[in-house]
Amino acid sequence: MSERIILLVEDNPNDEALTLRALKKSNILNPVVVARDGAEALDYLFCRGAYQARRPAENPELVLLDLKLPKIDGLEVLRQMREDERTKLLPVVVLTSSVEEQDVLRGYALGANSYVRKPVDFDQFVDAVKQLGLYWLVLNQRPPASK
Amino acid sequence: MTESAASTIEASRRQEGMRLLSEALHEFAEATADYPRLLKVVAQRVSETIGDVCSVLLLSDDKAWLERATFYDRDPEVARQYAAAMQEPLSMSETSLAREAMRSGKPICIPHFDIEQFRSRTTPESYELHRRIGANGVLVVPLRVRNEPLGTISLVRYRPGHAPLDEIDVEIAGNLANHAALAIANSRLLRRAQMEIDKRVKAEAALSESERLRRAEQDVARANRFLDAIIENIPDMVFVKDATTLVFTRFNRAGEELLGLGRNELMGKSDYDFFPRAEAEFFIQKDRETLASKTMVDIPEEPIQTARGTRWLHTKKVPILDAEGTPVYLLGISQDITERRVAEAQLLNAIQAAEAANRELEAFSYSVAHDLRSPLRAIDGFSQALLEDYGDKLDAEGQKNLERVRASAQHMADLIDDLLTLSRVSRTEMRRQRVDMSEVARAIIARLRTVARERRVEAVIADGLTAFGDDGLLGVILDNLLGNAWKFTSKRKEGHIEFGVTERNGAPAFFVKDDGAGFDMTYAGRLFGVFQRLHHATEFEGTGIGLATVQRIIHKHGGHIWAEGEIDRGATFYFTLADEVTTP
């Protein structure tokens, strides 16, 4: 069985470092692939461009998606994912600074599985990541893989 | 005859007098509409009650004469003889008994009358008559209404068998005379009114046909002048065109002012004489449309070239049809809407500018939320990383400083969040609905308890409190007020918080009450200002934005908020929300 990959879509290197640290502190030791903009995330998911060689069967177990991204924003990434058979059922947790009602609503409308606001307090962030990991990587029953 | 027997007779005579009086009153009232008959009824009544001949004398209009109005005796022959003998009116300068009674206003009673003694004071005919019938008693009572002398009623007795006239006769005659006088006065008024009406009816009937025509023409002219005055003073331009030639036949003052042309310049001319060709053609086309359709045509906006430049009109054109339904005139009413158009355009610009500003503000808020928070996360996160990874290389002071860095980052994050909430209150469109305030309050208290499990707080929340408003915003109100109550009771061993409804100034008001640190009422006015704090940050943390947000939400709901407090004695915040939806 292949390793359960987490795809982190995040353009801010600080947030990337903090997220990785939070994952580690939460004892989530899954490999993390980082995409630094929306286009790269889609390339990775659909095995295009720099990720042409990637095996589609090794789809990530969980996508942590920031909304404000260069090139293609997070909501657009989400929309394209939900339109594609290959990624339609992939759990996506929106991880963002924004609590604007519109963003939350649109996030859920486009099929986000969770919506988490990144807290400033790092301890709280670690807590949130721990719970996310526990839920999506351990407790959650995945849909049966399509043949 | 004993005295008591005499008084019994007296009483029964008086009673009989009253009965006759009340009968007479009915008759007088019924006869009021018929003046001559009324006089006859009066004379007959008095004659029958007291006896024998009764004459009614009335003062002439010039008050110089007493005219003999009517006579009555139950023997018609005697009455006739009286009428014949007394044809001449009595001059008021003569010294007759009637004149004397009328002058003095008092009755004259002569129980034992001897005509010989009055020979000099009466006419020969009268003397002769009275002597012949053997008059033996006379009673004259004045007729007066509200102290105005009207005339007299005179009675002459000649039949044998009467008791001599006495006080009771005088009293009864006086009562009859009073009521008769009133009936006579009323009847005269009625007769005068009737005569006036008759006179007018006759005058109307006597009008000649030509006079009638002249008056009708006068009426029409008056009505026309009235209509002209109305049209002339209507503040909108009013014009009339001939339906065939479409030349102007009428113009009002507002029209002259609008076009800057006198009506003499306009009469008999058409639109082509004043306006650019394309404009005139448009006007004419609308005229034809109106006349062809025979209904009103509304032109909401049309430009017109005037001495003052281009003006904009809202015009209504109405066809004026003759009796056969053929259009004869075209009536136009034009309102100058130039100023309104300018104002509308300015308003539209202002709205667009406001919307643009609002969008900008939203974009700004969004980046504040996103962009300002992420460096704070880095500050806090890496400070924590330092503490965890290099904590052993830092002394206590160094570690404490890093904690200060983290606390400051957190405080700034709170400020940003609170400012965003405050700005969101102004920006969000309210969706009003019935909100269960008790439920919201309970959820908030439960959340506060999970964060500070060590706190001992008794929270009393009244059941079934509801409000009509935006549920998100109402939640923000309770979040802040209950959060404050929670915060300011934190130094108490056991805190008490209460949420309920009470009556203030005759209306229900919600309240949140605590027994915490309280505040000095001197500064109550500053409670709701942005960044206003009444406690030091070292005592109680906070951003100073919460209550400003609460007040803004409450105002947005049409309500009020105020607070009462005392240092170390707790605080109570009251608020109202206008319960009805006010649509703009």
Chain A residues bordering chain B (beta-carbon distance below 8 Å): 12, 14-15, 17-18, 21, 68, 96-101, 118-123, 125
**Domain end (from B304, B336, B368):** B336
Q: Please state, in angstroms and rounded to a whole number, the distance separating the CA atoms of residues B364 and A102.
A: 15
Residue B581 has pLDDT above 50, yes or no: no
Q: How far is A12 from chain B (nearest CA, A)?
A: 9
How confident is the model at residue B2, as a pLDDT? 63
Model confidence band, residue B460 (pLDDT cutoffs 50, 70, 90)? very high
Read off the pTM: 0.46
CATH number at residue B264: 3.30.450.20
Q: How far is B369 from chain A (nearest CA, A)?
A: 6
Q: Please state, in angstroms and rounded to a whole number, the distance separating the CA atoms of residues B79 and B262.
A: 86
Q: Please state, in angstroms and rounded to a whole number, the distance separating the CA atoms of residues B235 and B333.
A: 10
Q: Please state, in angstroms and rounded to a whole number, the distance separating the CA atoms of residues A5 and A9.
A: 13
B380 contacts in A (CB within 8 Å)? 120-122
CATH number at residue B157: 3.30.450.40
Please state at what angle helix A74-83 crosses helix A38-45, rounded to 10 degrees: 20
Put simply, the answer to whether B380 touches A14 (Cβ < 8 Å) is: no
Same domain, B234 and B328: yes
Same domain, B140 and B109: yes
Put simply, the answer to whether B373 touches A121 (Cβ < 8 Å) is: no
**Domain end (from B422, B440, B466):** B422
Q: Please state, in angstroms and rounded to a whole number, the distance separating the CA atoms of residues B576 and B553.
A: 11
Q: Please state, in angstroms and rounded to a whole number, the distance separating the CA atoms of residues B64 and B98.
A: 13
Q: How far is CA B552 from CA B67, B96, B530, in A?
A: 95, 101, 11
As a whole-number percent, the residues of chain B with pLDDT over 70 amount to 97
Same domain, B235 and B167: no
A18 contacts in B (CB within 8 Å)? 377-378, 381-382
Q: How far is B277 from chain A (nearest CA, A)?
A: 56
Put simply, the answer to whether B384 touches A97 (Cβ < 8 Å) is: no
Residue A147 has pLDDT above 60, yes or no: no
Q: pLDDT digit string (tens) for A85-108?
A: 888 889 999 988 766 667 778 888
Q: pLDDT digit string (tens) for B296-338?
A: 999 999 999 888 889 999 999 999 999 888 999 999 999 999 9
Q: pLDDT digit string (tens) for B258-304?
A: 988 888 888 889 999 989 999 999 999 999 999 999 999 999 999 99
Put simply, the answer to whether A68 touches B382 (Cβ < 8 Å) is: no
Put simply, the answer to whether B374 touches A121 (Cβ < 8 Å) is: no
Of B23-37, B71-85, B209-223, B529-543, where does mean pLDDT reach its minimum? B529-543
Q: Is residue B218 part of a domain?
A: no
Q: Is residue B6 part of a domain?
A: no
Q: How far is A14 from chain B (nearest CA, A)?
A: 6
Residue B367 has pLDDT above 60, yes or no: yes
**Least CB–CB distance from A97: residue in B369, B382, B410:** B369
Chain B contact probe: residue of A122, A127, A129 with most B CBs at under 10 A: A122
Best-predicted range by mean pLDDT (A143-147, B338-342, B528-532) = B338-342
Q: Is residue B102 part of a domain?
A: yes
Q: Please state, in angstroms and rounded to a whole number, the distance separating the CA atoms of residues B434 and B206.
A: 80
Query: Which of B369, B370, B347, B350 has the alpha carbon at shortest distance from B358?
Result: B350
Tell which B residues from 357 to 376 touch A, by Cβ distance under 8 Å: 365-366, 369-371, 373-376
Q: Which domain holds residue B235?
A: 229-336
Residue B582 has pLDDT above 70, yes or no: no
Q: Is residue B215 part of a domain?
A: no
**More confident of the two residues B14 and B338:** B338
Q: Please state, in angstroms and rounded to a whole number, the distance separating the CA atoms of residues B195 and A50.
A: 122
Q: Is residue B238 part of a domain?
A: yes
Chain A contact probe: residue of B359, B371, B373 with most A CBs at under 10 A: B373
Q: Is residue B224 part of a domain?
A: no
B378 contacts in A (CB within 8 Å)? 14-15, 18
Residue B583 has pLDDT above 50, yes or no: no
- Residue B567 has φ and ψ, to the nearest 5°, of -60, 130
Model confidence band, residue B579 (pLDDT cutoffs 50, 70, 90)? low
Please state at what angle helix B471-488 crosses helix B546-556, rounded to 10 degrees: 150
Interval B236-263 mean pLDDT: 91
Q: How far is B469 from chain A (nearest CA, A)?
A: 18
Please state at what angle helix A74-83 crosses helix A101-109, rounded to 10 degrees: 20
Q: Is residue B347 part of a domain?
A: no
Residue B40 has pLDDT above 50, yes or no: yes
Query: Which of B321, B345, B319, B344 has the alpha carbon at shortest distance from B330?
Result: B319
Q: Indicate if ipTM > 0.90.
A: no
A98 contacts in B (CB within 8 Å)? 366, 369-370
How confident is the model at residue B452, as a pLDDT? 85
Interval B501-524 mean pLDDT: 88
Same domain, B409 and B478: no
Q: How far is CA B432 from CA A1, A82, A85, B294, in A?
A: 54, 34, 41, 50
Q: How far is B410 from chain A (nearest CA, A)?
A: 6
A12 contacts in B (CB within 8 Å)? 374
Same domain, B111 and B187: yes
How confident is the model at residue B179, as a pLDDT? 85
B381 contacts in A (CB within 8 Å)? 14, 17-18, 21, 122, 125
Q: pLDDT digit string (tens) for B138-155?
A: 999 999 888 888 899 988
How confident is the model at residue B289, as a pLDDT? 93
How confident is the model at residue A145, as a pLDDT? 58
**Least CB–CB distance from A122: residue in B366, B369, B381:** B381
**Least CB–CB distance from A123: residue in B366, B375, B384:** B384
**Domain end (from B422, B438, B458):** B422
B377 contacts in A (CB within 8 Å)? 14-15, 18, 97, 118-120, 122, 125
Same domain, B187 and B39: yes
Q: Please state, in angstroms and rounded to a whole number, the distance separating the CA atoms of residues A89 and A85.
A: 8
Q: pLDDT digit string (tens) for B191-207?
A: 888 888 888 888 877 77
Same domain, B251 and B298: yes
Same domain, B234 and B160: no
| Closest-CA residue of chain A to B414 | A120
How confident is the model at residue B584, as a pLDDT? 34
How confident is the model at residue B93, as a pLDDT? 67
Same domain, B435 and B408: no
Q: Is residue B216 part of a domain?
A: no
Model confidence band, residue B500 (pLDDT cutoffs 50, 70, 90)? very high
Put simply, the answer to whether A120 touches B409 (Cβ < 8 Å) is: yes
Instruction: Determine the 3-state secondary structure of B267 from DSSP.
Output: coil
Same domain, B370 and B283: no
Identify the structural domains of chain A with CATH numbers, from first to last: 6-138 (3.40.50.2300)
How confident is the model at residue B3, as a pLDDT? 66
Model confidence band, residue B573 (pLDDT cutoffs 50, 70, 90)? very high
CATH number at residue B559: 3.30.565.10
Average per-residue pLDDT for chain B: 86
How confident is the model at residue B245, as a pLDDT? 92
Total tally of structural domains belonging to chain B: 4
Model confidence band, residue B1 (pLDDT cutoffs 50, 70, 90)? low
Q: Which residues pair with B277 in a beta bridge?
A: none
Q: Which residues pair with B56 in a beta bridge?
A: B70, B153
Same domain, B29 and B130: yes
Q: Are B581 and B468 in contact (CB under 8 A)?
A: yes
Q: How far is B376 from chain A (nearest CA, A)?
A: 6
As a whole-number percent, the residues of chain A with pLDDT over 70 amount to 92
**More confident of the two residues B469 and A55:** B469
Chain A contact probe: residue of B358, B359, B372, B374 with most A CBs at under 10 A: B374
Same domain, B37 and B180: yes
